Amino acid sequence: MLLGKLKEKHDALANTKLPPEEVAKLLKKGAFLVDVRTKLEARMGIAPGATHISLFTLKRRMNELPRDRGIVLYCGTGGRAAKAKQILEAAGFKAFNGGGYKDIVKITGT
């Protein structure tokens, strides 16, 4: 039962991701792209132009993020990006859930 509720919460967060065309517009306008996956996941490749800051280190590394640009976040499927978005918005950043890695590389290339 608890596992089912956690999955529902994860799915709801993942569904807050922007459509690919909106992500593409933000990136064209100069949004900062951040990969919030784990270090192990990022070793398999990150999207062109992205900076890797895992969700687990995000709070202590916020000072590395620009406050004058939107921040597009991505992870494996969009769930962690949604959590990162909440964290950054609470700190005053303008953040967007770009979805998962596969979503982003369709926009940025490989």
Placement of tokens 């922007």 in the chain: 18
Of the candidates 75, 81, 82, 104, the residue annotated as catalytic is 75
Give per-residue pLDDT as tens, 53-96: 999 999 999 999 999 999 999 999 999 999 999 999 999 999 99
Q: Which residues contact 68 (CB under 8 A, 6 or more apart)?
A: none
Is 105 noted as a catalytic residue in this protein?
Answer: no
CATH 3.40.250.10 fits 2-108, yes or no: yes
Q: Give the model's pLDDT for residue 83.
A: 96
pTM: 0.86
Note whether 71 and 65 are within 8 A (CB): yes
Residue 51: which region, alpha, beta or left (left: phi > 0; alpha: psi -120 to 50)?
Answer: beta
| Residue 11: pLDDT over 70 | no
pLDDT band at 27; cut points 50, 70, 90: very high
Residue-range domain boundaries for the chain = 2-108
